[in-house]
Amino acid sequence: MVSRSSSRMFQLLQGHNQPAGQRNHRTRLVTKDGHCNIEFGNIEYSNQFAYLVDFWTTFVEIRWRFVLLLFVAVFTGSWFIFSLLWYWIAKSNGDMAGQNRTEGHIQCIDNVNGLTTAFLYSLETQTTIGYGGRALTGHCAGTVALIVIQSLVGVFINCFMCGIILAKISLPKKRAKTVTFSHTAVICLKKGSLCLLIRVANLRKTLLIGSQIYGKLLRTTTTADGETIILDQVDIDFMVDAGKDNLFFVCPLTLYHVINRSSPFFDLSADTLPQQDFELVVFLDGTAESTSSSCQVRTSYIPQEIQWGYSFLPIISRTKTGKYHVDFSNFSKSVRVTTPHCVHCFEADVDQRNHNNHSQENHNNQLKRGIDNPGFQVIDIHDSVDVTTM
């Protein structure tokens, strides 16, 4: 009985600890391609109505299949509605074939003999085709007013639908598709500090002007009052060798975050990193040089996607013709390098080396100055003058 309970407890602990990476994968807020994995529930009807009030943004953000369906439905619907009006005018005036026409009857519309021909006339009018088989006679004021209204409605529909299609084609997030991050992040030594490194590349030759890179660490924390905060956000500063603002983003860049005492990664080690439960979201904001539109690129890393003790392979070289060559086959590849086991170990080693260097420097200075001997007595010696008497 005891062994069965122990086995059951072991399975529970194993099931609780082992799938941490899978649990993080399921609860990832930002996907690798930048989409936010979040849904809204229990929204009031008034808030849902706000989507219709801001109809332009709603239509621009909906999927292409719904835009195409809206395109067909709006044009076909307008043609059909106006065809009913043309049919009603023609029938009311007795212009239909088979109707009893009096002598001297004045037609409003020629060759509209049914609903089908009325629909064709509506389509020809709104699309300005004008085959010449069906036309207004100009003897009825109602037909003149209706053709003016339909022409104006057709212009508005054309402008609206063309505007939506153009706006969707030129969305800034399409420009973000040509900016890519490395699949994994690495932790290694850089310039004498333990750093977290991420690589980013612009796949187009046109630049992103005023690029800024920053990060957010998302994790569940518990305050001193016992309150649990889900998706607590902590700022993560990323830099490159030339700074962190207004980057010259013409070639792939390696971003690094210095892990020091002010970093939220300070207490991590090579052993405890895979068991952590957090998500590192990295943002890149910039303005496209060709379209002057602002765009944002996002990606995220979970602990299982951060390699401790690895460094990225070099990807930039120079050809014989003087051009710079970027090898994207090594963009996300890394190689194992010598790295401290934890930040505390690294700082302890640095402090020890600094202490040894300081002691050695003091020792050398003392050798240069000499060592005072308190037991040595100083005696004043007066120079004597030899006098020779002749």
**Domains along the chain?**
62-170 (1.10.287.70), 175-343 (2.60.40.1400)
Residues with Cβ within 8 Å of residue 206, at least 6 apart in sequence:
288, 289, 290
Give residue 5's pLDDT.
Answer: 44
User: Do 312 and 333 meet the contact criterion of CB atoms below 8 Å apart?
Assistant: yes
Give residue 88's pLDDT.
Answer: 92
Residue 153 Cα to chain centre, angstroms? 39
Give residue 355's pLDDT.
Answer: 46
Q: Would you tell me how many other CB atoms lie within 10 Å of the CB of residue 114? A: 14
Whole-number Å distance between alpha carbons of 105 and 101 = 6
User: E strands of 289-357, at which residues?
Assistant: 294-301, 306-308, 310-312, 316-318, 324-326, 334-336
Condensed to tens digits (0 to 9), the pLDDT of residues 188-232 reads 998 888 999 999 988 887 778 888 888 999 988 887 787 888 888
User: Do 161 and 71 meet the contact criterion of CB atoms below 8 Å apart?
Assistant: yes
Residue 342 pairs in a beta bridge with 269
Q: How far is CA 113 from CA 94, 121, 126, 205, 351, in A?
A: 10, 11, 19, 61, 98
Whole-number Å distance between alpha carbons of 200 and 255 = 8
Give residue 13's pLDDT.
Answer: 39
Give residue 20's pLDDT.
Answer: 40
Give residue 388's pLDDT.
Answer: 43
Report residue 285 as tokens.
């904001």
Q: How far is CA 277 from CA 20, 26, 260, 303, in A?
A: 7, 12, 20, 7
Sequential pLDDT tens for the chain (390 residues):
444 444 443 343 344 344 444 444 457 888 888 888 877 777 766 566 777 777 888 888 888 999 999 999 999 999 999 999 999 998 888 877 766 666 767 888 888 888 999 999 999 999 888 777 788 888 888 899 999 999 999 999 999 999 999 888 888 777 778 888 999 999 999 888 899 999 998 888 777 888 888 899 998 888 778 788 888 889 999 988 765 666 777 788 888 999 988 899 988 888 899 888 899 999 988 888 877 888 888 999 999 999 999 999 988 888 888 888 888 888 989 999 988 888 777 666 555 555 455 555 554 555 444 444 444 444 454 554 444 443
User: Do 218 and 233 meet the contact criterion of CB atoms below 8 Å apart?
Assistant: yes
